[in-house]
Amino acid sequence: MPVKILVSACLLGQQVRYDGGGKLCEDPRFARWQAEGRFVPVCPEVAGGLPTPRPPAQIRGDRVVTEQGEDFTEAFDRGAEIALQAARAHGVALAILKQSSPSCGSLFVYDGTFSGAKRPGEGRTAALLRKHGFKVFGEDQLEEAERELARLERER
């Protein structure tokens, strides 16, 4: 049984993003891992009850809000919990999540001003997964994820 990877559904091309689109990751490693049956896809925002499409949201302070001030924090937190449950249920060893997202960003997120600027930080799902011991990578960190996957395979 291959090591399982929790993955943002949008990186598989699923049209679940706020704008109704996907963000297909075209890296050959990603395609190989998908073909090997490693992926457990999740969109925390949809799992948390938000529609597609939906207004863009960003982390502002300790809340996740739209530019108009609509508070999506509960849905983001509910989606993070569902992602954690899925990771545990499927024996996931690591996660590859969409960078910059207020759910999935692992190194940086949009800064809350809706200007396109980013800041160091992590999204709600990435933070919860890390809190519970999961290694979390962005789609821009596949080399690091590949090393971690190889390490986990050797330890089996």
Domain limits, the chain: 4-155
Which pLDDT tens digit goes with each residue over 14-60? 999 999 999 999 999 999 999 999 999 999 999 999 999 999 999 99
Distance (Å, whole) CA 6 – CA 42? 7
CA 33 vs. chain centroid, Å, equals 16
77 neighbors 43 (Cβ within 8 angstroms): no
The answer to whether the pTM exceeds 0.85 is yes
Tokens read off for 43: 């969109």
**C-beta atoms surrounding 1 within 10 Å:** 7
Question: Does residue 134 have a pLDDT over 90?
Answer: yes
| Sequence letter at residue 109 | V
